[in-house]
Amino acid sequence: MKIKNICCIGAGYVGGPTMAVIAQKCPEINVTVVDINADRIAAWNDEDVENIPIYEPGLSEVVKEARGRNLFFSTNVDSAIDKADMIFISVNTPTKTYGIGKGMAADLKFIELCARQIARVSKNDKIVVEKSTLPVRTAEALKNILDNTGNGVNYQILSNPEFLAEGTAVDDLMNPDRVLIGGDIENPEGKEAVEALVDIYAHWIPRERLLTTNVWSSELSKLTANAFLAQRVSSINAMSELCEKSGADVKEVSKAIGMDSRIGPKFLQASVGFGGSCFQKDILNLVYISKSLGLNEVADYWEQVIIMNDYQKKRFAYKIVQTLFNTVSGKKIAVLGWAFKKDTNDTRESAAIYVADYLLNEQAEIVVYDPKVKTEQIYADLDYLNTRSSEENRAQVSVVDTPYEATKEAHAIAVLTEWDEFKELDWEKIYNEMLKPAFLFDGRRLLERATKEKMGFEFYAIGS
Ligand SMILES: NC(=O)c1ccc[n+]([C@@H]2O[C@H](COP(=O)([O-])OP(=O)(O)OC[C@H]3O[C@@H](n4cnc5c(N)ncnc54)[C@H](O)[C@@H]3O)[C@@H](O)[C@H]2O)c1
C-alpha cells in the first residue's frame, strides 16, 4: 500500500516538526498539516520562514525546503482529511482540569473531536495514526467511534508515539534511536497498515530501528519512557539536597555513578526541576491509570517523581528568600531564562514560572530576560496560575530585552534556563552593576563557581 497523501491534525510542537521532516524526506508524498488555530497556521505560512511559530534549531531550513512543494499548512481540516490516505492525530492531550480525574487523567476531548470529524468526512478507507501521547487502550475508543459513526469506511488504527525532545527535535527526527509503530499485527489489514507507515520512515531510518509492536505496548511504552526519564531527574534532584547538607557535590556524584555502564551518564544533571508539557502530564496520567486499575502501590511509586519535582522548585525559591536575609519583599530579582529548557520557546510547566510565583508571593520584584520567549507568554503563564490578578502580575513583573537590563541594580540573579549565551555574559559588568552583596543562584549548574566567586558573587548552585 503506497501512501500519497498525509494529513496531520495539530500543527504544534509535535505535528509541525514531524511533518516537516516527513515531507522533506518523502518528496513524493503530499503532507498537509491542519489546525483550528488560524494564527498558528498563518505563522507556519509566514513568508519569512524565521517567523514560524515554533523555535527549534534547524527547523526553519527544513520548512523552507519542503513548504509549498509537498508540505502545506491549512485551516481546512475537512478537505485535508478527505484527501488523505493516512491521518496523523497530533493534537494536545493536557491534564484534565475538571470532573472525574481532574488534575491527573489525560483530557481526551480533542482526540475524540478529531475521531468524530474523521468519521463524518471520510469517504474512503483510512489509516489513522495516534501521534499524540495517549493512555493505554485509547485506540479501542477511537476505533469504536470511527466504526460506529462512519459511512462504512474501513479504518486501521496505529499507535506511533513521538519521542522527540524539544530543543533537539530536528536532530531527533532525522536520527531517532527508534521509531515505534503499534498496530493490529495479527491481522493482514493491520499488518499492511503498519507496513505502509514503516515504508514512510524507511525513507531515511534504517529498518532495524523501526520497531513494530501491538497497539497497547506502543501506547504504554511512551508513558513508560517519559516516566523513566523524569524519574532519573527526580532521583538526582533528591540526591542534590543530600549533597548540599553533607558536603558532597552532585556533579561529582553524577559523574561517578554515570560512568557505571549499568546506569549511564544521561539525565543525571541536577537542576531546579524538570518542566515541559509532557513529563508531568504523562506521569499523572500513568498514576491515574494505575489507580483506576486498583494498582495503588504502582500509582504511589510514580507519583513520588512529581512530588520530588515540585519540592525541588519550591526549595530553590525558598533558598533565595532565606539567603537574602529572609525577605525578598521589594527586592529586585533578575530571572535569566523562562523557557523550560534551552533551544526552545516552549514554556509549558517551566520551573521558572513556579519559582517566580513563589518569589512573587514574597512580594519580590521580578525582572525576566529570555532570548526566545515573548513577553505576552510570560504574563500568560503567570496569569494561568491564578495566584494573583493579572494587573498585579504586570505590576510586580517586568520583561526586558537584555540580560544586563535585568540584572542592573538587582539584589539577586536566578538562572532558570540553561541557555548557552548565559555562560558568555560579561559577568564582571553584571557584578559591578548589581547591589551588594551580589547573590547569584544557579538553578541549572550552568556557571563556573570559581570565576564567579573570584569576581565577588555570593554563589549558590543546586547540589553543592
Ligand atoms: N511537545 C513535545 O515535546 C511532545 C513530545 C512527544 C509527544 N508529545 C505529545 O504530542 C501531542 C501534541 O503535543 P504538542 O506539544 O504538539 O501540542 P501543541 O499544543 O503544541 O499542539 C497541538 C495543536 O493541536 C491543535 N488542535 C487541537 N484540537 C484540534 C482539532 N480538533 N482540530 C485541529 N487542530 C486541533 C491545537 O490548536 C494545537 O495547535 C500531545 O499528546 C503530547 O503529549 C509532545
pLDDT per residue over 349-404, tens digit each? Answer: 999 999 999 999 999 999 999 999 999 999 999 999 999 999 999 999 999 999 99
Task: Please report the pLDDT score of residue 151 as a whole number.
Answer: 81
Give me the phi and psi of 236, to 5 degrees please.
-70, -30
Q: Work out which ligand 1 atom sits closest to the CA atom of 131.
A: 10
Q: Where are the beta strands (DSSP E) in 30-163?
A: 30-34, 71-74, 86-89, 126-130, 155-159
Q: How far apart are the first and last CA of the chain?
A: 58
Q: Which residue's CA is the nearest one to ligand 1's atom 11?
A: 132
Catalytic residue among 8, 114, 243, 278: 278
Same domain flag for 268 and 349: yes
Give mean pLDDT, residues 25-45.
98
Same domain flag for 227 and 144: no
Is any ligand 1 atom within 6 A of the Cβ of residue 108? no
Same domain flag for 238 and 185: no
Is any ligand 1 atom within 6 A of the Cβ of residue 269? no
Same domain flag for 123 and 232: no
C-alpha cell at 342: 534551552
Task: Please report the pLDDT score of residue 149 as a whole number.
Answer: 84
- Is 133 labelled as part of a ligand binding site? yes
pLDDT bin (cut points 50, 70, 90) of residue 1 is: confident
Probe ligand 1: pick from 39, 81, 90, max atoms within 8 Å of CB?
90
Same domain flag for 443 and 369: yes
Residue spans of alpha helices (H) in 67-175: 77-83, 109-121, 138-149, 169-174
C-alpha cell at 247: 558536603
- Is 92 labelled as part of a ligand binding site? yes
pLDDT at 150 over 80: no
The H-or-E segment that residue 17 falls in is: helix 15-25
Same domain flag for 182 and 271: no
Average pLDDT value for the chain: 97
Looking up cell 513520588, which residue turns up? 304
Model's pTM, two decimal places? Answer: 0.95
Task: Please report the pLDDT score of residue 95 as a whole number.
Answer: 94
Which CATH number covers residue 209? 3.40.50.720
> Structural domain tally of the chain?
2
State the residue range of the domain holding 94.
Answer: 5-213
Task: Please report the pLDDT score of residue 167 as a whole number.
Answer: 94
Last residue of a domain, one of 181, 213, 245: 213
Same domain flag for 321 and 249: yes
Q: Give the span between the Cα atoms of 461 and 464, in whole angstroms.
A: 6
Same domain flag for 322 and 293: yes
Q: Do residues 388 and 350 touch, judged by C-beta distance below 8 A?
A: no
Task: Please report the pLDDT score of residue 219 as a whole number.
Answer: 95
Give mean pLDDT, residues 106-112.
96
Probe ligand 1: pick from 18, 55, 91, max atoms within 8 Å of CB?
91
Q: How far is the CA of 91 from the centre of ligand 1 (A)?
A: 4
Same domain flag for 395 and 464: yes
- Is 247 labelled as part of a ligand binding site? no
Task: Please report the pLDDT score of residue 367 as a whole number.
Answer: 98
Give mean pLDDT, residues 142-157.
90
Give mean pLDDT, residues 137-142.
92
Same domain flag for 131 and 144: yes
Task: Please report the pLDDT score of residue 119 as a whole number.
Answer: 95
Q: How far is the CA of 94 from the centre of ligand 1 (A)?
A: 9
pLDDT at 37 over 90: yes
pLDDT bin (cut points 50, 70, 90) of residue 152 is: confident
C-alpha cell at 148: 460506529
Same domain flag for 456 and 365: yes
- Is 167 labelled as part of a ligand binding site? no
Q: In terms of Cα–Cα distance, which of 9, 282, 33, 11 is closest to 130?
A: 9
Is any ligand 1 atom within 6 A of the Cβ of residue 37? yes
Summarised one tens digit per residue, pLDDT across range 122-137 is 999 999 999 999 999 9
Is any ligand 1 atom within 6 A of the Cβ of residue 368? no
Q: Is 7 a residue of the active site?
A: no
pLDDT at 246 over 90: yes
Q: Give the span between the Cα atoms of 204 and 450, in whole angstroms.
A: 46
Task: Please report the pLDDT score of residue 118 as a whole number.
Answer: 97
Task: Please report the pLDDT score of residue 426 as a whole number.
Answer: 98
Last residue of a domain, one of 213, 230, 251: 213
Q: How far is the CA of 90 from the centre of ligand 1 (A)?
A: 5
Last residue of a domain, one of 169, 192, 213: 213
Q: How far is the CA of 16 from the centre of ligand 1 (A)?
A: 9
Is any ligand 1 atom within 6 A of the Cβ of residue 118? no
Please provide the size of the chain in residues. 464
pLDDT at 419 over 80: yes
Q: How far is the CA of 9 from the centre of ligand 1 (A)?
A: 9
Q: Do residues 435 and 407 touch, judged by C-beta distance below 8 A?
A: no
Is any ligand 1 atom within 6 A of the Cβ of residue 91? yes
Q: Strand pairing of 210-213 and 332-336? A: unpaired
Q: Give the span between the Cα atoms of 36 and 41, in whole angstroms.
A: 8
Q: How far is the CA of 145 from the centre of ligand 1 (A)?
A: 20
Give mean pLDDT, residues 100-120.
95
**Residue 169's Cα: distance from chain center in Å?**
10
Task: Please report the pLDDT score of residue 233 as a whole number.
Answer: 98
Same domain flag for 74 and 149: yes
**Residue 68's Cα: distance from chain center in Å?**
28
Give me the phi and psi of 156, to 5 degrees please.
-110, 130
